[in-house]
Amino acid sequence: MQTIEIREFGPADGLAVVDRPEPSPALGQVMVAVEAIGVGGVDAVIRRGTLGGYGFAPGHVPGSEVAGTVAAVGDDVDPAWMGRRVWAFTGTGGGYAERAVAQAADVVALPDGLDGVAAVSIGTSGAVAHFALAQAHVAAGESVLVRGAGGSIGIAAVQLARHAGAGVVAVTTSSAERGERLRALGATAVLDRTGAGGPSEVDVVIDVVGGAGLPSFIDRLAPNGRLVLVGVVAGMPPADFGMRLFAHFQRSVSVGTFSADTVPRARLHAVRTEQFTAVAHGELAAVVQDVLPLAGAAEAHRRMDAGEVFGRIVLVPSMS
């Protein structure tokens, strides 16, 4: 089967197309005939080598979410899964392939009317946005700033913040055109990447970006404000960013991190099922920048590195 692996960490051209044997599901696993693969920010972070100390090595197959049809199940898995269309979380890798294995406990059935491309555009990002907003305890009428709102997590966070009754939903993005697209999805104020413009202070920041600019967004927090970091697409924050918290000690601001790894599967799946249904009914938008063949993975990563992606790029193993 066709697979994409990381031959060399760094630029996108370190991704290579290789042929590998089809995987077989072990105990507790299913094998999915892949229809669509979500290209996520974490895939780019791994490919760049930013997380090299976490056990990733050359030959790693990226990709953490796929959609398709269950083609085989482990001996201890309910055979009723066979032939069902599903979304599946493949862990820290293995998704950039024509066939992928996942734990049966990490599989969610797809509702009628939802295609695989939409499913992998919202499956991970929608859940992360939901629980990040919950961790920030966003209340109706509060102001929310989504930093890095042009990606799939940010787009979901904008929509969900509006649905939660946020009084202001500010966004940072790279262009006026993107700003208008985000306004159509629920944003009420558009700032540039540095945070210039918009409200001077906000109750909540949902930060997908991290990097050197994070401390300046701590400065924007209102008294009792909360910043939740859900990604580091611009790299790790400065080592001394905590000093900015002490500078605002009397304002009782806080910074936290969020990883979906801390949420019980049952809660994650309940939210995903709810969001898949909302997308199928047109109540939530799954924004797709482009659909490319699996062999176009390096091109997808080049576009991400260049900041050209609004929403998500999706890979498909076969295109007519």
Cα dist from 151 to 266, 286, 287, whole Å: 26, 11, 9
Amino acid 320: pLDDT: 41
CA distance 161 to 145: 9
Treating both helix axes as pointing N-terminal to C-terminal, what angle do 265-280 and 116-135 enclose, rounded to 10 degrees?
120
Domain ranges in the chain with CATH number 3.90.180.10: 2-109+287-316
CA distance 235 to 45: 8
Amino acid 41: pLDDT: 86
- pLDDT (tens digit, 9 = 90+) per residue, 69-128? 999 999 999 999 999 999 999 998 999 999 999 999 999 999 999 999 999 999 999 999
Amino acid 38: pLDDT: 98
Amino acid 55: pLDDT: 77
Amino acid 110: pLDDT: 98
Report the pLDDT averaged over residues 241-249: 93
Amino acid 20: pLDDT: 96
Does 272 score more than 60 pLDDT? yes
Q: What are phi and psi of 222, to 5 degrees?
A: -70, 165
Measuring CA to CA, which residue among 57, 52, 94 is closest to residue 236? 52
Query: Structure tokens of 12?
Result: 């996108």
Percentage of the chain beyond pLDDT 70 is: 98
Instruction: Say how many CA atoms lie within 13 Å of 131 toward its Cβ.
Output: 22
* E strand or H helix that includes residue 145: strand 143-147
In the DSSP assignment, the letter for residue 60 is -
Amino acid 42: pLDDT: 87
Predicted structure pTM score: 0.93
Does 52 score more than 80 pLDDT? no
Amino acid 53: pLDDT: 54
Report the chain's C-alpha Rg in angstroms.
19
Q: In what order do the strands lie in the sheet with 189-191?
A: 189-191, 168-172, 143-147, 202-207, 221-229, 254-257
Percentage of the chain beyond pLDDT 90 is: 89
Query: Structure tokens of 259?
Result: 């990883």
Does 60 score more than 60 pLDDT? yes
The CATH classification of domain 125-260, taken from the options 3.40.1010.20, 3.40.50.720, 3.40.50.460, 3.40.50.620:
3.40.50.720
Query: Structure tokens of 1?
Result: 């089967």
- Cross-strand bridge partners of residue 290: 313
Amino acid 149: pLDDT: 95
Domain ranges in the chain with CATH number 3.40.50.720: 125-260
Amino acid 193: pLDDT: 85
Does 275 score more than 60 pLDDT? yes
CATH of domain 2-109+287-316: 3.90.180.10
Measuring CA to CA, which residue among 98, 96, 60, 101 is closest to residue 81? 101
**Tokens 């005939």, residue located:** 33
Query: Structure tokens of 145?
Result: 């700033």
Does 50 score more than 80 pLDDT? no
- pLDDT (tens digit, 9 = 90+) per residue, 259-270? 999 999 999 999
Provide DSSP, 172-198.
Answer: E-S-HHHHHHHHHTT-SEEE-TT--SS
Measuring CA to CA, which residue among 246, 250, 151, 165 is closest to residue 204? 165
- pLDDT (tens digit, 9 = 90+) per residue, 159-208? 999 999 999 999 999 888 999 999 999 999 999 888 888 899 999 999 99
